């Protein structure tokens, strides 16, 4: 079991941590939840039947750990929505160079602001598909959905994000123009 555990940990630790960080928006809490994930892995690995990949199984556990965390919070549905307030903290990947952050910062900020207006299901799919780069079948397996539901939710989420981002950009451009005109 130790070698299997080490292999899972070495392969997926960063991905699981990043997923939980996006979900709970708190580094210390994400670290605690990662520990909980691996405790559950150790307790239940003998029950793993290989019906899905180890990665899918691990992310299913991580999703359940995050949901359990939110349920423990007072008003857990409201907490889930609060956790996607991307303006409170800025998530940074340690591997990104500062100049890359500066270039992407404005676009990413708009994306995160718009993402907070999507449904929880849409956010889960966006995080899993585009941030964690999971396949449609892996995402479906983790969420307990059909692949069709993942595709539909992804399509609606991307469309909603695009519409919200376009509206926000147009609004900002309009505000910028009225500031220019006020100075003239």
pLDDT of residue 181: 67
Does the domain at residues 1-83 carry the CATH identifier 1.10.1740.10? yes
Confidence of residue 82 (pLDDT cuts 50, 70, 90): low
Helix 98-115 vs helix 147-183: angle between axes, to the nearest 10 degrees?
110
- For the chain, where do the domains classified as CATH 1.10.10.10 start and end? 87-184
Domain covering 87-184 in this structure, CATH number: 1.10.10.10
By the 8 A CB rule, do 124 and 143 touch? yes
By the 8 A CB rule, do 164 and 114 touch? yes
26-30, 137-141, 172-176: range with lowest mean pLDDT = 172-176
| Predicted structure pTM score | 0.61
Average pLDDT estimate for 123-151:
90
pLDDT at 129 over 70: yes
pLDDT at 86 over 70: no
């Amino acid at each position: 079991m130790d070698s299997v555990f080490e292999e899972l940990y070495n392969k997926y630790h960063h991905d699981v941590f990043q997923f939980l960080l996006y979900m709970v928006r708190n580094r210390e809490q994400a670290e605690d939840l990662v520990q909980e994930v691996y405790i559950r892995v150790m307790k239940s690995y003998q029950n793993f039947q290989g019906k899905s990949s180890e990665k899918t199984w691990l992310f299913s556990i991580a999703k359940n750990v995050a949901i359990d965390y939110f349920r423990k919070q007072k008003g857990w549905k409201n907490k889930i929505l609060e956790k996607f307030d991307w303006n409170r903290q800025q998530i940074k990947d340690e591997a990104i160079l500062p100049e890359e952050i500066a270039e992407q910062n404005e676009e990413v900020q708009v994306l995160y602001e718009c993402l907070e207006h999507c449904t929880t299901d849409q956010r889960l799919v966006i995080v899993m598909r585009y941030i964690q780069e999971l396949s449609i079948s892996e995402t479906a397996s983790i969420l307990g959905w059909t692949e069709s539901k993942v595709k539909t939710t992804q399509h609606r989420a991307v469309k909603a994000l695009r519409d919200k981002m376009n509206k926000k950009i147009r609004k900002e451009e309009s505000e910028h123009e009225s500031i220019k005109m006020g100075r003239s």
